[in-house]
Amino acid sequence: MIKKKKLNFLKEISIKIRKSILKTIYNAKSGHIGGSLSCVDILISLYFGKHLKFDIKKPELESRDRLIVSKGHATAAYYSVLAHLGFIKYSELSTYCKNNTRLATHLSERVPGVEFDTGSLGHGLGIACGLAFSAKIDKKKYKVFALISDGELYEGSVWEALLFASHHKLNNLTIIIDRNKQIVMDKTEDCIKIEPLKKKLTAFGYKVHEINGHSFIDLDKVFMKIKSKKNSVLNIVIANTIKGKGISFMEKNLKWHHAVPQKEEFEKAMEELS
Amino acid sequence: MKKNIENIDIMTAFFRELEKVGQKDRNLFFITADHGAWALTDFKKKLKKQYMNIGISEQNMISFAAGMALNRKKVFLFTITPFITQRCLEQIKTDLCYPNLPVTIVGNGSSLTYAYHGTSHQAIEDIAIMRSLPNLKILNPCDNLSTRAAVKIAYKSKQPVYIKLDKGFFPDSYQNAKELHDGLHQFNDKNDKKENIDLSIFSTGSMIEQAKKIKKFLKKENINASLIDIFRIKPLNKKKIINILNKSKAAITIEEQHIDGGIGSQICEVIVDNGISIPLKRFGINDEYCKSFGDREWLRQYYKIDTNTIIKKTLVWIKSRYKNG
């Protein structure tokens, strides 16, 4: 069970980083706020909860764990996390979406800490499979994580990769689905039904952990459980999340996929976080 | 019938070379999307751990190879051309070309190879499409030697490579590997003129055999022609092409590709970009899909890129421009 001190620490960081997401997008007048706020607690748990092995001074360290963030539009969240960790300077976030920046709305591996460029949905899981498979060949001990959005489940390539990882028993790969139940224009279940997702993935041969993707207790528990498993179980985490989580008027609101807050909205959002 | 010195088909040449490289480097992997070949049998048997059938999933195959390449594996991907170039085009763009990862895509059955299998299996668009991808090297071998060279070049490459690999027996065109260094080669006979060439014939891959026949015929008509094989379509050796064009009175291009975007377009671009003023005529597949089926030669006739049609049209064209040929 996660200690209270650690829990409070993570909660504090999650507020700081949410503020950073808002500021970054408000300043840039661009970015994907909803999907950033839905996956940010997962990223915080992985990095600050120490479930991911990394070295800020050596981002390319051979023994590091590999995280592929397949939902490449969540850069406001990911770059804020990397800035908070020290991979990049905080001040660099002010260059987000400005000319000649390396921080764009979609993920770039030019940014220290980032493994791969993503942006078009449905690519990341295949890449993660390649990393996990070759790590096994080389008997490398690091783990591979793939954070994908539930919207990516509409891409056929994701199911190709799910079949592959299952067949090849890639137990060094953990797939995390940011299940915020929204895509750009619709709620997933109104558009094309994804449910029953757990059943589908179980039938594919995965051990499916369904958790609250904003609960650091849940996240910690599931990542600890996965880490301790030495057998050939294939793990998928369905992290049930809320698009726009943390800002009352953004939560579950389709508008906030990539809307930019106006001055009043920004101030109100910052106040809610305080 | 013995058609080349090794007496093997072009795919056997490819897989023998790949096996040779793979024996020396256990980091070499060959992945097929469920497309087999007799020629693959040996590789599969001898390099079991370096072989994988990933299933009919080209998109995942490309992304997967990108992940493997991040861990310094040398991956060769293989299936029928349209499936490995067009179905997964975006994966090639964002997962291989943008990060510039050294993965080799081998499209089997170039252009009209899969004649009676229909348009779904033919690839007349791939050069135009793949040529627009930055960082991608494109190789189009025409015989066993150039196929073996393509394997070696791809293996050593630090960037993604696309190889067009035909099927069947091809006569030897190249004599030694050095001829492939420049990415294009002039096949000259002993008594061919080197300056004041009446007609330069640019061709590539599967059309080289036809181009040879065309050159031979034109020679009988007192047209001193020179044949150039564009083995490396990208990056194109523009310097050498400019040099050749400057010594030629006219040029034609012959390809089994869509007329727009292939080597004909490349030569046009070189001519325009460098202010070269010689007439050029392009032979390629016009902007249409044939909805009837037949063998490769029948399709070439349908698309008007067969030997006789090209000879006839070239003669008329030359005579209209230069009286007395």
Please list every residue in chain B whose beta carbon sits closer than 8 Å to the beta carbon of residue A138: 71
Judge: B63–A133 Cβ closer than 8 Å, yes or no: no
Which 44-63 residues of chain B touch chain A by CB within 8 A? 54-55, 57, 59-63
Does domain A4-252+262-273 fall into CATH 3.40.50.970? yes
Please list every residue in chain B whose beta carbon sits closer than 8 Å to the beta carbon of residue A118: 94
pLDDT at B210 over 90: yes
Residues ≥6 apart with Cβ < 8 Å to B223: B198, B199, B318, B325
Q: What is the pLDDT of residues A117-138, one digit of tens each?
A: 999 999 999 999 999 999 999 9
Nearest-CB residue to B99 (from A116, A124, A130): A116
Cβ B125 vs Cβ B94: under 8 Å? no
Residue A128: burial class (beta carbons within 10 Å; 0-12, 13-18, 19+):
buried
Nearest-CB residue to B67 (from A122, A131, A157): A131
Nearest-CB residue to A131 (from B54, B71, B99): B71
| A26 part of contact set with chain B, CB < 8 Å | no
Judge: B59–A131 Cβ closer than 8 Å, yes or no: no
Judge: B98–A163 Cβ closer than 8 Å, yes or no: no
A123 CA: distance to closest CA in chain B (Å):
6
Residue B73 falls inside a structural domain: yes
DSSP structural state of residue B47: T
Least confident of A10-24, A218-232, A255-269, B11-25: A218-232
Q: Is the same domain home to B154 and B188?
A: no
Residue B302 falls inside a structural domain: yes
pLDDT at B2 over 70: no
Average pLDDT over residues B266-281: 97
Residue A161: burial class (beta carbons within 10 Å; 0-12, 13-18, 19+):
buried
DSSP result, A35-73: HHHHHHHHHHHHHHTT-S---SS-TT-TTS-EEEE--TT
What CATH number should be reported for the domain holding residue B290? 3.40.50.920
Residue B99 falls inside a structural domain: yes
Percent helix, strand, coil in chain B (nearest 5)?
A: 40, 20, 40
Domain residues of chain A, as ranges? Answer: 4-252+262-273
Q: Is the same domain home to B193 and B243?
A: yes
Q: Is the same domain home to B133 and B72?
A: yes
Q: Is the same domain home to B260 and B291?
A: yes
Looking at residue A2, its pLDDT comes to 87
B319 CA: distance to closest CA in chain A (Å):
53
- Please tell me the distance from the alpha carbon of residue B157 to that of residue A135, in angstroms, as a whole number: 22
pLDDT at A107 over 60: yes
How many C-alpha atoms does A273 have within 13 Å on its Cβ side?
Answer: 25
What CATH number should be reported for the domain holding residue B75? 3.40.50.970
B166 CA: distance to closest CA in chain A (Å):
28
Question: ipTM of the predicted structure?
Answer: 0.93
Residue B261 falls inside a structural domain: yes
Q: Is the same domain home to B232 and B87?
A: no
Q: Which helix (H) or strand (E) holds B138?
A: strand B137-139
Question: What residue type is assigned to position B155 of the chain?
Answer: Y
Domain that holds residue B279: 183-321
Question: What residue type is assigned to position B38 of the chain?
Answer: W
- Please tell me the distance from the alpha carbon of residue B6 to that of residue A181, in angstroms, as a whole number: 61
Q: Is the same domain home to B231 and B143?
A: no
How many C-alpha atoms does A13 have within 13 Å on its Cβ side?
Answer: 25
Q: What is the pLDDT of residues B239-262, one digit of tens each?
A: 999 999 999 999 999 999 999 999
Q: Is the same domain home to B159 and B216?
A: no
Q: Tell me the pLDDT of chain B averaged across its residues.
A: 95
Residue B285 falls inside a structural domain: yes
Q: Is the same domain home to B56 and B161?
A: yes
Q: Which of B121, B139, B165 is the last residue of a domain?
A: B165
- Please tell me the distance from the alpha carbon of residue A123 to that of residue B154, in angstroms, as a whole number: 24
Residue B76 falls inside a structural domain: yes
CB atoms under 10 Å from CB of A50, counted, come to: 12
Residue B174 falls inside a structural domain: no
Q: Is the same domain home to B156 and B75?
A: yes
In 3D, which of A192, A198, A162 has the Cα closest to residue A70?
A162
Beta-carbon pairs below 8 A across chains A and B: 88
Looking at residue B322, its pLDDT comes to 66
Q: Is the same domain home to B240 and B196?
A: yes
Cβ A123 vs Cβ A70: under 8 Å? yes
Looking at residue A23, its pLDDT comes to 98
Cβ A64 vs Cβ A124: under 8 Å? no
| B217 part of contact set with chain A, CB < 8 Å | no
pLDDT at A253 over 70: yes
Q: Which helix (H) or strand (E) holds B137?
A: strand B137-139
pLDDT at B194 over 80: no
* Structural domains counted in chain B: 2
Chain length of chain B: 325
Edge-to-edge strands of the sheet including B74-80? B51-53, B28-32, B74-80, B103-108, B161-165, B137-139, B232-234
| B265 part of contact set with chain A, CB < 8 Å | no
Read off the pLDDT band of B47 (50, 70, 90): very high
- Please tell me the distance from the alpha carbon of residue B311 to that of residue A110, in angstroms, as a whole number: 53
Nearest-CB residue to A120 (from B60, B90, B99): B90
| B23 part of contact set with chain A, CB < 8 Å | no
Looking at residue B325, its pLDDT comes to 42
Residue B67 falls inside a structural domain: yes
Please list every residue in chain B whose beta carbon sits closer than 8 Å to the beta carbon of residue A122: 59
Q: Is the same domain home to B17 and B128?
A: yes
Average pLDDT over residues B199-206: 97
Q: Which helix (H) or strand (E) holds B74?
A: strand B74-80
Max distance between CA atoms of chain A, in angstroms, equals 54
Sign of the CA dihedral with A159 first, then A160, A161, and A166 last: positive
Q: Is the same domain home to B287 and B250?
A: yes
Stated pTM of the model: 0.95
Judge: A164–B59 Cβ closer than 8 Å, yes or no: no
Query: Tokens 């010594």 appear where?
Result: B247
Q: What is the pLDDT of residues B81-136, one digit of tens each?
A: 999 999 999 999 999 999 999 999 999 998 999 998 989 999 999 999 999 999 99
- Please tell me the distance from the alpha carbon of residue A129 to that of residue B21, in angstroms, as a whole number: 25
- Please tell me the distance from the alpha carbon of residue A44 to that of residue A216, in angstroms, as a whole number: 9
A106 CA: distance to closest CA in chain B (Å):
12
